[in-house]
Amino acid sequence: MKIGIFSDAYIPFTNGVTTSILMLKQTLEEKGHTVYIVTVSTSRKFEIEDQGKIIRLPSLPIPMYNYRISFLYHKKAMKIIESWHLDVIHSQTEFGLGMFARIVSNKYDIPLVHTCHTMYEDYVHYINGGHFNKLFKNIVKKITQKFCRRDNLELIVPTAKISHLYRDKYHIDKNIHVVPTGIEINKFDMNQYPDFDKLKLRNQLGIQKDDFLVLFVGRIAQEKNLELLIQAMNELQNNIKLLIVGDGPQLNALKSMSNQNIIYTGSIDWNDNIQYYYFIADCFATASQSETQGLTVIEAMAAKLPVIAINDESFANTVKNGYNGYIFDNEKEYQDDVLKLYNNEDISKQLSQGAYETSKEYSATVFGDRLLEVYNEVLNRGENK
């Protein structure tokens, strides 16, 4: 099968969508399929990479956000895509490349599958600077509705949370496939890295051997609700530390409200080094309610970390209270959950094993197989028309 993935998010830009696409590409290729990528360039130049299998369209930056959006049409790209003879197109955004995917699908009569990754209403403040939020959210809603209601579009979402949003709020009445994004489980197995020195990395970050380390991994931004974690940690004892891994527009503001027990790494080499930060932690925490799935939660579980997550539908199928972690509703409950793990090593080990068992449900192989089922369903439906 020849599959074309259209996405505004792809390397060198690092986020959950990029991680998902890289993993999907590798998995599909291992199964013998050919994957082509249509994405954005890092400038206004048209670029071709990987022996013609990756096209980068000219793009413009989104202010205050590590993201670029492409122009909606490119004549040269159309000719190259035509020569690929794609069996299916899989778009990963409703804007930019998503709209271009629709154009290509219509012109060459190629089945179109679309994955909804992002709750865009939570991100409009990056575009409008916090002004006219209601107007901009309504615009985003209308664009999403128009895109997803397309008759011959097959819709995929990573969690029931997004499925419910699209049905109940956006009133999209069509078949929606819930397919959780997978990860490379082995990447987060510390046994795969016999030369890794856990204590050395801890020491480099100013974390002592006996410190209890809570980890957050992700974009340092308003929608991640990191203030809750920081305020809670400021009231815990000194040998409980919070490590915040990542970069983003809120980094300096958060540093100014943090004490010495909260440590920031800033920007890191995400693709090559992220697993090491999971290995040095004792548990993982998130207070974000803007997630569609929360891939970092699954990564933490693959690294055998108990997860403490805010009560949000994004984590309903992953974080199981008392089995692989805890769900909290407020700052006090979060503090209590951290202390449960800190004070009881047996409970921590039990939840650690539960976390690892849960992560197996989200392997790259399972993810690839489920998407291939959707692709084949679409292709078979077309043949039977």
> Which value, in Å, is the radius of gyration of the alpha carbons in the chain?
21
Residue 300: closest CA among 368, 233, 213: 213
d(CA 72, CA 59): 10
Q: Which residue has the higher pLDDT, 342 or 96?
A: 342
Q: Which residue has the higher pLDDT, 145 or 191?
A: 191
Q: Is the pLDDT of residue 369 over 80?
A: yes
Q: Is the pLDDT of residue 112 over 60?
A: yes
Question: Under a CB-based contact definition with an 8 Å cutoff, are residues 341 and 283 in contact?
Answer: yes
Question: Under a CB-based contact definition with an 8 Å cutoff, are residues 195 and 224 in contact?
Answer: no
Convert the pLDDT of each residue in 263-284 to its tens digit.
Answer: 999 988 877 799 999 999 999 9
- Which pLDDT belongs to residue 129? 53
Convert the pLDDT of each residue in 373-383 to its tens digit.
Answer: 999 999 987 66
Per-residue tokens: 33:
């399929």
- Which pLDDT belongs to residue 170? 79
Convert the pLDDT of each residue in 44-62 to its tens digit.
Answer: 889 999 999 999 999 887 7
Q: Is the pLDDT of residue 193 over 90?
A: yes
Residue 219 backbone dihedrals phi, psi, to 5 degrees: -70, 135
Q: Is the pLDDT of residue 132 over 80?
A: no
d(CA 213, CA 236): 12
Convert the pLDDT of each residue in 219-268 to its tens digit.
Answer: 898 889 999 999 998 889 889 999 999 999 899 999 999 999 999 999 88
Question: Under a CB-based contact definition with an 8 Å cutoff, are residues 288 and 310 in contact?
Answer: yes
Beta strand 34-40 with 54-57: parallel, antiparallel or unpaired?
parallel
- Which pLDDT belongs to residue 294? 83
- Residue ranges with strand state E in 137-253: 153-157, 176-178, 212-217, 240-245
Residue 84: closest CA among 117, 48, 58: 48
Most confident of 58-67, 121-130, 131-140, 304-313: 304-313
- Residue ranges with strand state E in 88-184: 88-91, 112-115, 153-157, 176-178
Average pLDDT, the chain: 89
3-state secondary structure of 199: helix
d(CA 38, CA 105): 13
Residue carrying structure tokens 């709020």: 169
**pTM (two decimals):** 0.79
Convert the pLDDT of each residue in 72-109 to its tens digit.
Answer: 778 899 999 999 999 999 999 888 898 899 999 999 99
d(CA 347, CA 124): 41
